[in-house]
Amino acid sequence: MLAVVFEMPGKQKTRMSFLRRQQWCHGAIFIAMLSISPGLSAEIFVVASAASPPLTLQPGQVGDLFMGKLLSLPDGRPVQLVDQPESAPLRNEFYLEAANKSAAQARAQWAKLYFTGRGIPPRVAEGSKEVKKLVNSSPNALGYIDSSALDDSVRVVCVLHKNSNRNE
C-alpha cells in the first residue's frame, strides 16, 4: 500500500537540509502504511490533557522543554513531562526530531540537571496508553505518542514530522 501524503503547497516530502525549525504543527496529514511497524508512524504527536487550556507549541519549544532548558509552558504554568520507556524506538525518534539529540544524550542532559538540582527528569510511562493516562492526570502535563495511539482523550499541541528537523 502506498502512502498518501497531503501537504501544504510548496513543502518538500524528502529530508530537508539547513532547516530552521518551521511551523509544522498545523497543516500536514499523513495516512500511514499498514506495513509500517507499530510505533513507527511518520509523525509524533505531542499531547496534553483534553481538559487543559488551549495550547500550541513550536517544535523548538518542545525540544527545550524536554531537554530541561525551559521549565514552564508559554503561559507560565510549570510543565510536567512524561516520557516513553527507554526501550521504545519512539523515544529516540522523538528526541532526534524535537531536540536533535539521541535518547542517550537526552538522558545525559537530564542526569546533569537532576544531579545539580536544576530539574527533575520526565516521568517514564510504560507506553502510549499510560502516557495518555498520565497527561490527563494533570493540566500541565505533556507527553508524546504516535498516530496509532492518538484519540480524543488528549489534545495535540504539536506535531513532529520524522526526518524533517535534522539540520544537516
Partner 1 sequence: MTKIMKTAGLALLLAASVCHGAEPGGPEYSGSGFLSVVAGKMLGGDAGNVGDYNCPCYVSDYAQAAIYDGRGGLQFKPDTKLGLQGSISFDDQRFSLTGQVVSRAAHNGGMDLEWLYVSYKLNSKVTLQAGRQRLPLFYYSDAQDIGVSLPWTHLPTWLYGWQAVNYNGVKMRYQDEVGGWASMFNLLAGSEHLRDSGYWKVYGNGRQSVTDVNWTNIVGGDLTLSKDWFETRMVYIQSHTQDINKNAAWDYTTLSYGPPAGAGPVAEQKIYGLTVNVNYGNWQSYNEFIYINHPGLTYKDFSQNVALGYRMGKWLPMVTWGHYRGTVVTTGVLPGAPASTPNSQATIALSLRYDLTPSSDLKLQYDDTHDASDPGFNPRYGRSRLLTFAFDMTF
Binding site for partner 1 (CB under 8 A): 20-21, 60-61, 64, 69-72, 74, 76-78, 86, 100-104, 106-109, 111-112, 114-118, 120, 166-168
CB of 109 to partner 1, least distance (A): 7
Q: How far is the CB of 54 from partner 1 (least distance, A)?
A: 18
Comparison of 27 and 74: residue with beta carbon closer to partner 1? 74
| Min CB(98)–partner 1 separation in Å | 11
Cα–Cα nearest to 37, from 88, 86, 92: 88
Rounded CA-CA distance 108/92 in Å is 13
CB nearer to partner 1: pick between 45 and 110: 110
- Taking only Cα atoms into account, the Rg of the chain, rounded to an integer number of angstroms, comes to 15
Q: Which residues of 140-166 are buried (b: 16+ CB within 10 A; e: fewer)?
A: bbbbbbbbebbeeebbbbbbbbbebbe
Q: Are 3 and 147 in contact (CB under 8 A)?
A: no
Q: Whose Cβ is closer to partner 1: residue 45's or residue 66's? A: 66
CB of 168 to partner 1, least distance (A): 4
Q: What is the rounded distance in angstroms from the CA atom of residue 39 to the CA atom of residue 41?
A: 6
CB nearer to partner 1: give 9 or 76: 76
